[in-house]
Amino acid sequence: MDIGRYIARRLLLAIFVLLGVLVVTFILSHSYGDPIYAWLGKNAALHPNLVKLYEDKYHLNDPVYIQFYYYIVGLAQGNLGVSPSRGFEPVSQVIEQTLPFTLQIAFFAIVMTLVMGIALGIAASFYYKRPVDYGVRAFYLAGYASPSFFVALILLIVLVYYLHLLPSGEAVGVGIFPPHVITGIPMLDALIQGDWTYLGSALQHIILPSLALALTTFGVVTRILRSSVLDVMQSNYIRTARAKGVNERTVFLRHGLRNAMIPVITVSSLIVTFILTGTVFVEYIFAYPGMGQYVVQALLGQDFPGILACTLIYALLIVLTNLAADILYVVVDPQIRLG
Amino acid sequence: MTEKTKPKNQMSLGRLAFITGDAKVRVNKEMIIGGVIVAFFVVVAIAVTIADILHITITPYNPDTPNVGPLFGPPSLAHPMGTDNLGRDQLSRILAATPNAVVIGFVVVGFSLALGLIIGSFAGFHGGFADEALMRLTDIFFAIPALVLAIAIVAALHASLLNLMIALMIVWWPAYARLSRGETLKVSHQNYIEAARTSGYGSARIIFRHVLPNIFVTLVVYATLDIGTVILTYSGLSYLGLSVPPPAPDWGYMVASFGDSLLSDPWLPLFPGLLIAISVIGFSIFGDGFRDAISGN
């Protein structure tokens, strides 16, 4: 099978997975209860006809499959419904405002995770069974075991309140205007237009949330890279390279590390899932205006259209990463057969 | 059948049961360190639960009684973890919340293990449509972050410990089904399975007597490592207020409600957060050690 057909088949499968995600989440979130009282607050008790009006408008009294039908029809037209927790603003509009910020955090968190994870993984394998190795191991165990909201709180107290190193809250400093929209992702737009004031401030604001995520996730990379470097460096081709008189640096970088990196691709979907889950907490704690904060708001307001849309988008991001990882896998490792 | 002729591949279950008796499975340092931490939490959880049933207080103070100490009192001899905004003893509250984490960890993993084993081994053994359907279903569950799906479920069911547990169980079992299926595929081409088939045994008997005992250990090792992950996810949901309703104590929720006191009274969010981390570390270290011991490294 050539790579084009492989990608096409995987894309088709991804569409089915997303449809499945939609069905599962829809059924689970619509299986119980009437959210109308949470939506309308005390108005619900005061105005019975208002309840009726909203129930009719959003088909709340119809069976789940009828509601699902309306949802799918809306979805096909790009309509994700309205978000009661945001004053009945269209969900698609809220997503459009919040998703770019989550993508920014996720991007920086992934970069930091990879940098920390790879550096420490190499360090640990170099100093195998020596103090550095044990230190790295303790560090990633502590990071992995700490909930991201806890790490975020500690960073907040140490770096913001005690050391005054970094600002916290919102995506940029007060009074800084966002750049003109080109891609929709503010930091990228600022970079394209050379808006250094915005970019500088945005960078300062994004370090903490992404660092909190990286600290809880880098262990996944370190752990797998450490053992894979140890494995690879004992293999025959490394011995051959050394026997040929290739210097140790080249042996490690050209022959060792390149092959040892392949298993890291395998855990990429785990990393992305960890980081997306973490954004829910760090955005909430650092008051970063992304989709994670919206999920929490939607949750507290029983805003099912909001929760549903966010779940779908998280799933889309994960499915796309998996697809990218699988393709990358085939590209870097010619031993893998497509099937 | 004498001891000598006992088939080797049926040793798995026996190995697990007599961990210290088998020379191949040496209890290592990690198992001891992790085991001590895990045992501490389990013992506290059992003790607190029994005391709760008998209506006696074994924690230093009653966890829900206000003004047993000063308001926002820092850690002291009388209150090693300080007191909260209502003057409740924080150590007692943390201890009282231990059963939540332990029960959720074990129940969610236990349920997922049992259901995953049955569904996964059946699908792997029979193949065909059931197998295909299961794999596509697990694809769907793997595409959604567990926490986000659990949020959607708990939001629909309303917050309570039981609903949180149900949500986590719905989200958690597919990973076990997929792992069981993979392991079943590995063993189902072994000679002893072929032999059982040739002997004319039914598939139920082969699955229960020959497949399950041989994939059980791998699954249990995974499950041990997984309990920590369940506790992490649960603490996240608890942080968002989706666990027991207040005033009952819960680790994640305690971190959330005292997040604002971080500067003035750091012990309030720090101790519950640390306890979450320590419990997860305990299960991770124990699981790592257990895996090494089983695989003979």
Name B104's Cβ contacts closer than 8 Å, sequence gap at least 6: B161, B164, B165, B168, B230, B231, B234
Q: Do A146 and B276 form a contact (C-beta atoms < 8 A)?
A: yes
pLDDT-derived band at B116 (thresholds 50, 70, 90) equals very high
Question: Any CB–CB contact under 8 A between A33 and chain B?
Answer: yes
Angle (CA) A182 A188 A192, round 5°:
70
- pLDDT reported for residue B198: 87
C-alpha torsion sign, points B137, B141, B144, B148: positive
Each of the 339 residues of chain A gets a pLDDT tens digit; together they read 677 888 888 888 888 888 888 888 888 777 655 677 667 766 666 777 777 777 777 777 777 788 888 888 888 888 888 888 888 899 999 999 999 999 999 999 999 999 999 999 999 998 988 999 999 999 999 999 999 999 998 998 888 888 888 887 788 887 788 888 888 888 998 898 888 989 999 999 999 999 999 999 999 999 999 989 998 888 888 888 888 888 888 888 888 888 888 888 888 888 998 999 999 999 988 889 999 999 988 888 888 889 889 989 999 998 888 888 888 877 777 666 654
Decide which of B20 and A242 is more confident: A242
Cβ distance of A318 and B281 shorter than 8 Å: no
Distance CA B46, CA A282 (A): 34
With an 8 Å Cβ cutoff, are A145 and B277 in contact?
yes
With cut-offs at 50, 70 and 90, classify the pLDDT of residue B55: confident
Question: Residues of CATH 1.10.3720.10 domain(s) within chain A?
Answer: 96-338
In the predicted model, is pLDDT for residue B23 greater than 70?
Answer: no
Interface of A with B in 116-175 (CB under 8 A): 141-142, 144-150, 153-154, 156-157, 161
Q: What is the pLDDT of residues B63-78, one digit of tens each?
A: 888 888 888 888 888 8
Give contacts of A307 with chain B, Cβ < 8 Å: 151-152, 155
Are the Cβ atoms of B152 and A149 closer than 8 angstroms? no
Min distance A196 CA to chain B CA atoms (Å): 33
Q: Residue A42: its pLDDT value, please?
A: 65
Q: Domains in chain B, start-ordered, CATH in brackets?
A: 22-47+87-295 (1.10.3720.10)
* Whole-number Cα distances in Å, A7 to A10, A251, A272, A318, A336: 5, 34, 20, 16, 15
- Classify burial at A167, counting beta carbons within 10 Å of its beta carbon; exposed 0-12, middle 13-18, buried 19 or more: middle
Instruction: Provide the pLDDT for residue A54.
Output: 74
Instruction: Please report the number of interchain residue pairs, chain A to chain B, with beta-carbon separation below 8 angstroms.
Output: 140
Of A298-302, B215-219, B266-270, the range with the lowest mean pLDDT is: A298-302
Residue A295: list chain B partners with CB under 8 A: 148, 151
Q: How far is B263 from chain A (nearest CA, A)?
A: 7
- pLDDT higher than threshold 60 for residue B1: no
For residues B17-24, give the mean pLDDT: 44
Answer yes or no: do A153 and B170 touch at CB < 8 A.
Answer: no
Q: Which amino acid is at B28?
A: N
Q: Which residues of A touch B147 (CB under 8 A)?
A: 277, 280
Query: How confident is the model at residue A8, as a pLDDT?
Result: 87
Query: Under an 8 A CB cutoff, do A153 and B255 touch?
Result: yes
pLDDT at B278 over 90: yes
Q: Could A277 and B151 be called an inter-chain contact, meaning their C-beta atoms sit closer than 8 Å?
A: no
- Provide the pLDDT confidence category of residue B4 given band limits of 50, 70 and 90: very low
- Tell me the CATH number for domain A96-338: 1.10.3720.10
Question: How far does A313 lie from chain B, in Å, by closest CA?
Answer: 9
> Which pLDDT score is estimated for B197?
84
Of B15-24, B107-116, B159-168, B209-218, the range with the lowest mean pLDDT is B15-24
Give the residue-averaged pLDDT of B253-271. Answer: 87
Q: Give residue A1's pLDDT.
A: 60
Closest CA relative to residue A70, chosen from A80, B156, A311: A80
pLDDT at A282: 92
- A286-325 residues touching B, CB cutoff 8 A: 295-296, 299-300, 302, 304, 307-308, 310-311, 314-315, 318-319, 322
